[in-house]
Structures are given as C-alpha cells and as structure tokens.
Amino acid sequence: MFGALVACAGSAPKTYPFDGVYFKAKAAAVNKTVTRSVFIVQVADASQSITGAREAGRYEGTRYCIENYGTSDIIWEIGPDNPELVLADDTLTLKGMCDA
C-alpha cells in the first residue's frame, strides 16, 4: 500500500497554476552548440491569462537557469515585464540569458 502511494505522488504534474490557469511552458537553448545560456521560453494558450502566461514564462526561465547554471539570475532580452509582448498563434515567447 505504501509503495502505491509513493508511486502516485511521484507522478504528480510538474506544472503550477498562474493566475488560476495551468499553462504548458517550455524553455530551450537557442543554440546548444554555441551556448546553453541563451534560451527562449514558449507559453502555449497564453490568451487564457496574459498575466498568468507572463508569470509561467518567468517561472520556466528561472527553472531553466537554475537547472543548467545554478542561478536564478536572468538578463531578459524579451522579458515577462515587457508591456509590449505580442502573442503569435496564442503562444507567448520570451528570450533571455542565464547570468552565470
């Protein structure tokens, strides 16, 4: 019985709600052969909540930098606080660099 509980706990989703909405967000290196520190974050279905999508993107960027460089410091080129962010195909795209 205990093993079943542990197995269920391990399969919990690794997403969190932002502004009450769960977003699919993914961060990836722009060019892995040059450097992994420059990355983009894409947040799908961003029109559900622009505020939530911005925060989901910030979270995913921070997570990416911590996992790859051990720091949460990001220099944003196109950041979540930019008031002029544009959605393309209902996807919010951010771009940053881990400040390692």
pLDDT, one tens digit per residue, over 23-50 is 999 999 998 877 889 999 999 999 999 9
pTM for this model (two decimals) = 0.82
Q: Tokens 């967000």 map to which residue? A: 25
Q: What are phi and psi of 17, to 5 degrees?
A: -75, 140
Q: How many other CB atoms are there within 10 angstroms of residue 25's CB atom?
A: 25
| Residue 64 domain boundaries | 2-98
Query: Residue 93 — very low, low, confident or very high, per pLDDT cuts 50/70/90?
Result: very high
What's the structural domain count of the chain?
1
